[in-house]
């Protein structure tokens, strides 16, 4: 059975959903997105994703889609009609189509394109990788300088994933000026003793919604948090490492550039944070 997707005000079977070849997200990567996870049929951290979407739109002087205030209802309707228990809702807004190709932004009467679709992921929170941990490689960060805006320019992160695969690993941590920025699609952390270390917020990384929640839960659980730069060498010497994202929650990292981190199995801090995150997020889900 085909999915029902949402395009500019209409719920349609996926095969009938169409956008223009002149859409600026297609021609210029002139679009922003959000991914919200669904557990037990409910949305995790919806408000955080809504607020970040609004910020991404503002930073790019992109109009809000007309349906902006209905986004919660649209998410819920897609979850309902597609019968999603565990999965993801993908949302993309682009600057729309002016019916031609031009570097300059089109006039205000060109309306943004709004697309949403679901991805069914049964057992999303019981991923086998969370029990074994993942392996990462380090690569140079070659993305643009406004990584705080969640744009659909995902070519370099895709290349990073392929480099990781070619090396027999799961993901890549990107490095700029000797310091880890983040994973290809997640925020990166190391743990030393009782201290969780992760890069401070700036334009260099995406301000992860999961990151904000996890750091809050860590502090509530009396763990120490240091938001600062760290290197690949420091990470290799760490007791633990992990990544966070809306689709993987808290995911332990057990190997970096072929070197084992800690005992080579998911550490107690990452394991505990994953449990707390899942429990608290399920309680607050909408």
- In the list 92, 185, 271, 281, the residue contacting ligand PMP (rule: CB under 6 A) is 185
Interface residues for ligand PMP in 9-38 (CB under 6 A)?
A: 35
Burial class for 103, CB neighbours closer than 10 Å (0-12, 13-18, 19+): exposed
Whichever of 2 and 158 has its CB closer to ligand PMP, that residue is 158
Q: Which of 224, 273, 231, 274 is nearest to 256 (CA)?
A: 231
- Find the Cα–Cα–Cα–Cα dihedral 2, 74, 35, 199, rounded to 10°: 180
Q: Is 135 a catalytic site residue? A: no
The position carrying tokens 């994202």 is: 245
Minimum CB–partner distance for residue 224 and ligand PMP (Å): 21
Q: Using an 8 Å Cβ cutoff, are 48 and 209 in contact?
A: yes
Task: Report how far Cα 28 is from the mean position of its chain's Cα atoms.
Answer: 21
Whichever of 4 and 187 has its CB closer to ligand PMP, that residue is 187
Contact call for residue 209 and ligand PMP (CB under 6 A):
yes
d(CA 82, CA 4): 6
The position carrying tokens 């889609």 is: 65
- In the list 97, 113, 245, 271, the residue contacting ligand PMP (rule: CB under 6 A) is 245
Contact call for residue 246 and ligand PMP (CB under 6 A):
yes
Whichever of 138 and 210 has its CB closer to ligand PMP, that residue is 210
Whichever of 75 and 97 has its CB closer to ligand PMP, that residue is 75
Binding site for ligand PMP (CB under 6 A): 35, 182, 185-187, 206, 208-211, 244-246
**Residues forming the active site:** 150
């Amino acid at each position: 059975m085909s999915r029902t997707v949402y395009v500019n005000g209409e719920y349609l079977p996926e095969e009938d959903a169409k956008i223009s070849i002149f859409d600026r997200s297609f021609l210029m990567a002139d679009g922003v997105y959000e991914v919200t996870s669904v557990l037990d049929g409910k949305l995790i951290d919806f408000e955080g994703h809504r607020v970040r979407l609004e910020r991404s739109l503002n930073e790019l002087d992109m109009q809000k889609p007309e349906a902006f205030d209905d986004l919660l209802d649209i998410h819920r309707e897609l979850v309902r009609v597609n019968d999603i228990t565990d999965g993801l809702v993908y949302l993309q807004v682009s600057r729309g189509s002016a019916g031609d190709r031009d570097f300059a932004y089109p006039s205000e009467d060109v309306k943004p394109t709004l697309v949403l679709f679901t991805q069914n992921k049964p057992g999303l929170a019981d991923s086998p990788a969370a029990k074994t941990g993942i392996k990462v490689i380090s690569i140079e960060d070659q993305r643009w300088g406004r990584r705080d805006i969640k744009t659909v320019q995902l070519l370099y992160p895709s290349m990073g994933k392929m480099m990781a695969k070619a090396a027999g690993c799961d993901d890549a941590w990107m490095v700029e000026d000797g310091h880890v920025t983040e994973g290809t699609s997640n925020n990166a952390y190391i743990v030393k003793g009782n201290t969780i270390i992760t890069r401070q917020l700036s334009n260099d990384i995406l301000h992860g919604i999961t990151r904000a929640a996890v750091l809050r839960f860590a502090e509530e659980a009396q763990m120490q948090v240091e938001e600062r730069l760290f290197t690949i060498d420091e990470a290799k010497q760490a007791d633990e490492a992990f990544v966070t994202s809306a689709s993987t929650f808290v995911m332990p990292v057990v190997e970096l550039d072929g070197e084992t981190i800690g005992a080579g199995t998911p550490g107690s801090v990452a394991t505990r944070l994953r449990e707390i995150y899942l429990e608290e997020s399920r309680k607050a889900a909408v």
